[in-house]
Chains A and B, each alone.
Chain A
Amino acid sequence: DAGVIQSPRHEVTEMGQEVTLRCKPISGHNSLFWYRQTMMRGLELLIYFNNNVPIDDSGMPEDRFSAKMPNASFSTLKIQPSEPRDSAVYFCASSRAGVTGELFFGEGSRLTVL
């Protein structure tokens, strides 16, 4: 299996632009998680889905952030408009349903907003 695939790996954009990060979870995994990592705040859970349904989005910073999972094999995290404080590494992770399964993380998308 190819593992969790994230794209793009790196993105540099200007303040005010729309940013879309993409994630393909491991086939057969029912849960998908979006995390953001910065030096100041560590690894923050933004939102997670079970069976394509958002379960908890309390970690989403504000209305500029939105996430979708239209099917079991694809999810997006969108920031519109982007701001310099959104600069971070964004990780996607997936797991089988239930908490006994391990989380598999992608390699992350490093976002820089100028």
Chain B
Amino acid sequence: DAKTTQPNSMESNEEEPVHLPCNHSTISGTDYIHWYRQLPSQGPEYVIHGLTSNVNNRMASLAIAEDRKSSTLILHRATLRDAAVYYCILRDEGTNAGKSTFGDGTTLTVKP
């Protein structure tokens, strides 16, 4: 299975942008890049996903490197409610269709 690597933790100030990196150097052509976040005592929730092109939605933006070996989740203005563990995962459309394995994620702390 393709693996992802993320920093263990990051800090941000409230109302500032946050760039959360993810490395996935062994990504295959059939892998989609998904991001989820987990608030304390809750299940993970979907943030955004993409294949090759950058993506924007109401929650965040996803920037994907041209070689697809890395990606960055961008929170444009961090709020205290964005403090969570952020997971970058690869979802395989190929042989293991749909298999979704989570790594350790990045714990984001937002300071007021």
Q: How far is the CA of A55 from the CA of B93 in the complex (A)?
A: 13
Which chain B residues in 95-112 approach chain A with CB under 8 Å?
96-105
Q: A98-B93, A108-B43 are in contact. Are A43 and B34 (CB under 8 A)?
A: no
Interface size on B, residues (CB 8 A): 25
The 0/1 profile, CB within 8 Å of B marked 1, for residues 13-54 of chain A is 000000000000000000101010000001111001010000
CB-based contact B46/A104 at 8 Å? yes
The reply to whether B44 and A105 form a contact with Cβ atoms under 8 Å apart is: yes
Selected from A35, A99, A106, the residue in CB contact (under 8 A) with B32 is: A99
How many residues from A make CB contacts under 8 Å with B? 25
Docked-complex contact B43 and A95, CB < 8 angstroms: no
- A residues lining the B interface (CB < 8 Å): 31, 33, 35, 42-45, 48, 50, 55-56, 91, 93, 95, 97-100, 102-108
Closest Cβ–Cβ distance, residue A110 to chain B (whole Å): 9
Which of B34, B42, B103, B104 is the one whose CB lies under 8 Å from A103?
B34
